[in-house]
Chains A and B, each alone.
Chain A
Amino acid sequence: MSTVTATLTPAPSAALPPPAEPKARGLGERLAPYAYVAPFFVIFGVFGLFPFAFTFYVALFDWNPIGDQVFIGADNFTRMFADPRFWNAAGNTVSIWALSTVPQLLLALVLAHVLNHARLRFALFFRMSVLVPYITSVAATAIVFAQLFDRDYGLLNWLLGLVGIEPIDFVQSTWGSHLLIATMVTWRWFGYTTLLYLASLQAVPRSVFEAAAIDGAGPWQRFRHITVPSLRPVIIFTVVTSTIGGLQIFTEPLLIASGAPLTCGAVRQCQTLTLFLYEQGFGQFEFGYGSAIGVALFAMVVVIAAINYVLSTRIKADR
Chain B
Amino acid sequence: MTSTAPRGRQPGRVRWWTYLLLCAATAACLFPLYWMFIVATTDTATATKMPPEIVPGGNFFHLVGLVLETVPFVQSLLNSLVVATAIGVGQAVLCALAGFAFAKLRFRGRNALFVIVVLTMTVPTQLSVIPQYMIMSELGWVDTLQALIVPGLASAFGIFWMRQHISATISDELMQAARIDGASTGQVFWRIAFPIVRPAAFVLGLFGFVTAWNDFLWPFIVLKSPERYTAQIAIKALQNSYDVDLGLAMSGSFLATIPLVVLFVLVGRRMVAGILEGAFKG
Contact = CB atoms under 8 A, between A and B. Distances in A.
A90 B189 CA distance: 49
Given A47-B150, A111-B25, A281-B130, A147 B246 contact: yes
Counting chain B residues whose Cβ lies within 8 A of the other chain, the interface size class is: 35 or more
A198 interface: yes
B70 interface: no
A44 B120 contact: yes
Contacts of A265: none
Contacts, number: 375
A61 to B, nearest CB: 11
A237 to B, nearest CB: 6
A37 B101 contact: yes
Given A51-B128, A137-B216, A282 B221 contact: yes
A141 B32 CA distance: 8
A252 to B, nearest CB: 10
Contacts of A118: 3, 9-12
Interface in B207-251: 210, 213-214, 216-217, 221, 231-232, 235-236, 239-240, 242, 246, 249-250
Interface string B262-273: 011000110110
B194 to A, nearest CB: 12
A130 B107 CA distance: 43
B39 interface: yes
A1 interface: yes
Contacts of B161: 7
B110 A135 contact: no
Interface of B: 1-3, 5-15, 18, 21-22, 25-26, 28-30, 32-33, 35-36, 39, 47-48, 50-52, 94-95, 97-98, 100-107, 110, 113-114, 116-117, 120, 123-135, 137, 150-151, 153-156, 159-161, 163-164, 167-168, 172, 175-176, 179, 184-186, 189, 210, 213-214, 216-217, 221, 231-232, 235-236, 239-240, 242, 246, 249-250, 253-254, 256-257, 260-261, 263-264, 268-269, 271-272, 275-279, 281-282
Leading 10 A-B pairs by shortest Cβ distance: A118-B9, A51-B131, A140-B253, A43-B154, A47-B151, A137-B214, A241-B282, A18-B106, A54-B131, A202-B8
Interface of A: 1-8, 10-11, 13-15, 18-22, 28-30, 32-34, 36-37, 39-41, 43-44, 46-52, 54-55, 58, 65, 107, 110-111, 113-121, 123-141, 143-145, 147-148, 152-153, 155, 158, 187, 191-192, 195-196, 198-206, 209-210, 213, 219, 222, 237, 241, 244-245, 248, 250-251, 254-255, 258, 274, 277-278, 281-282, 287, 290-291, 294-295, 297-298, 301
